[in-house]
Structures are given as structure tokens and as C-alpha cells.
Amino acid sequence: MKIVVIGGSGLIGSKLVNKLRERGHEAVAASPKSGVDTLTGEGLAEVLKGASVVVDVSNSPSWEDADVMKFFETSTRNLITYGTAAGVGHLVALSVVGSERLLESGYFRAKIAQENLIKGSSLPYSIVRATQFFEFVKGIADFSTKGNEVHLSTALIQPIAADDVASAVGEVAEGSPVNGTVEVGGPEQFGLDELVRRGLAARKDPREVVADRKRVLIDRPVHVPAGICDVRGTVGTALEVDRREPEPVLRPGQRDEDRPDGRPVRQGRQGQ
Ligand SMILES: NC(=O)c1ccc[n+]([C@@H]2O[C@H](COP(=O)([O-])OP(=O)(O)OC[C@H]3O[C@@H](n4cnc5c(N)ncnc54)[C@H](OP(=O)(O)O)[C@@H]3O)[C@@H](O)[C@H]2O)c1
């Protein structure tokens, strides 16, 4: 099946393209790097020709309120227009668990706008919502650092490894449209401060984590309520995941053994 992955060069996209190719699909990585721009529409008609499914795992290069809203609104409208014209039978998009509880943030307002455009379109769709990626936790630590201190909320999060997110999105893309939302999260909840404290200690990073209840964005719990989500991965994955090398994208037809680094594609999915 031809599956076009918008954002196929990104963290989730590159893993997803590899997984879909491993399963025998014609997975096409589409992004500005390969001449496909969902903001302008450039290359969309060509890449979507003959596609059964389009998966959107793109992200805005700028997280300024106006930029991110323009990105998700314009690119989603373009995907719907071009996807409908090409006769695509399934639009899959990756969003974030708890976005509706974080509307102080322009980023999450834009994700809700993206979801609403998809729900209001005539294309059969599936929205996959994931909790925070473990890979994103180090970035949260870095942009919350003041001097030698990392100021973080104590809000509970339920992080998931990017590899597990890519697997979940791939499974949804292979299936029938759910015309609804599927949520995935990691196996365990942590206070954000505690998770980063453990991660920094594991890396012997000397920064001190300070619990800060005034943090606006992450003062609310962003976790998947027990019992409604597909839980994946392990805590072991959590502490090791940000030490991994970036995933090389396999060429069509390439298998694990052809990878330049010789590492297996599937890793870190213990406990399933
Ligand atoms: N971070 C989290 O914890 C989290 C949690 C749940 C869900 N999500 C969602 O997961 C999705 C993917 O995140 P990620 O971290 O994998 O993203 P990422 O690594 O930052 O990759 C972004 C991708 O978007 C592409 N892109 C940028 N501008 C584009 C355009 N105009 N047209 C088409 N493609 C464009 C980039 O292409 P180039 O490489 O060519 O520039 C790249 O492939 C996002 O929608 C995010 O909201 C994130």
C-alpha cells in the first residue's frame, strides 16, 4: 500500500517510514527536504498520486503562537484539499494527549485547530494522540534551565518512547479509519520534575532540578487516564532513550541488515 508520510524526515516520521517499509508498504517520506511543502502545497499533488493513506507527523519549525497556528491550519487544509483530490482513503494525524487542557499555549491551540479541521473534513481519518516523547524531556530540561538549576512543574506526565509512538501510528495507518481518536502513552506516570531529575542523574548531569509550581504550561497533568490508552514501552526505555543515535532512514527495499550502523530497527519495545 502506498503510504505518504508528511514529516517523514522528523523524529517520528523517520522511524515510521522505516517500520512501514519493513512491513512491505511503499512508504514515501515527504517534507521540504524532499520537495514537499504542506504550507505552500508544493509537491503535494505529485506525491499523493496513487496513495491509499497519508500520515501527518509534521511539526512547525516555529512555535510562536501565530506561526504555529498558521502552520497547522494551512498545512492541514492543504492536506485535506490535495488528499481529497487524489482520492486518498485515510488521513492519519499525530496529536498530543491533553491538548484541550493546555489552551494557554498557542502550540496546543494549534493542535486542537488541526484536529478540528480533520474531524470536519469529508476524508476518513484517524487521530493518534500521544503523551510527551521521552526524547522531548531533555529539551524541556534545557529550556527550563536557569544557571545550574532546572525549574520544572511537579505535574504528572506519562511519557512514551518515540519508537513506540511510531509503531502505534504505523498500526493505525495500516488499519481502517477509526473516524475518531486513539490515545497512546507510556507505562508509568512521573512528576515532570522527578522524571528530569532521574534522567539528569542517569547522565551524571550536575544540574539541580527545582520543583516550581508556578510553571504555567506544564502545571496541569498531561497523562492518559488509566484504562483508555494503549500503554507501550518500559521505564528502562525511558532513561536510555535519549542516548540513542538518530534513526537512519532506510531506502525503499532496504532491510535491517543493510543499515549503515548495523543496529536492528526494532528496539526498546520490551514488555509488549
Ligand atoms: N514532542 C512531543 O512530546 C509530542 C507528543 C505528542 C505528539 N507530538 C506531535 O508529533 C508530531 C511530530 O513531532 P516530531 O518531534 O517527530 O517532529 P520533528 O522531528 O520536529 O519533525 C518535523 C517534521 O516536519 C517537517 N516539516 C516542517 N515544515 C514542513 C512543511 N512546511 N511541509 C511538510 N513538512 C514539514 C520537517 O521536514 P524537514 O526535515 O524537511 O524540515 C520534519 O520532517 C508533531 O505534530 C507533534 O505535535 C509531539
132-145 pLDDT, tens digit per residue, is: 888 887 788 888 88
CB atoms within 10 A of CB 170: 26
End-to-end alpha carbon distance in the chain? 26
Cα 54 to ligand 1 centroid, rounded to whole Å: 15
Instruction: Assign domain 2-257 one CATH number from 3.30.70.940, 3.40.50.970, 3.40.640.10, 3.40.50.720.
Output: 3.40.50.720
pLDDT surpassing 90 at residue 250: no
Q: What are the residue ranges of helices labelled H in the chain?
A: 11-22, 44-48, 65-86, 106-120, 134-143, 162-174, 192-202, 235-240
Residue 222: what pLDDT? 52
Query: What is the predicted pLDDT for the residue at 104?
Result: 79
User: What is the per-residue pLDDT for 28?
Assistant: 98
Counting from 1 in the atom list of ligand 1, the atom nearest the Cα of 33 is 40
> How far does the centroid of ligand 1 lie from the alpha carbon of residue 33, in Å?
13
CB 115 within 8 A of CB 127: yes
Assess whether pLDDT exceeds 60 at residue 244.
Answer: no
pLDDT at 269 over 60: no
Q: Would the pLDDT of 129 be above 80?
A: yes
Taking residues 67-89, report their average pLDDT.
98
Nearest residue (by CA) to ligand 1, atom 36, is: 7
- Domain ranges within the chain, ordered by starting residue: 2-257
pLDDT value at position 165? 92
3 Cβ closer than 6 Å to some ligand 1 atom: no
Answer with the residue of higher pLDDT: 153 or 27: 27
For the Cβ of 6 lying below 6 angstroms from any atom of ligand 1, the answer is yes
pTM, rounded to two decimals: 0.85
Binding site membership of 29 for ligand 1 (Cβ less than 6 Å): no
Centre of ligand 1 to C-alpha 10, Å, is 6
Ligand 1 centroid from CA 206, angstroms: 30
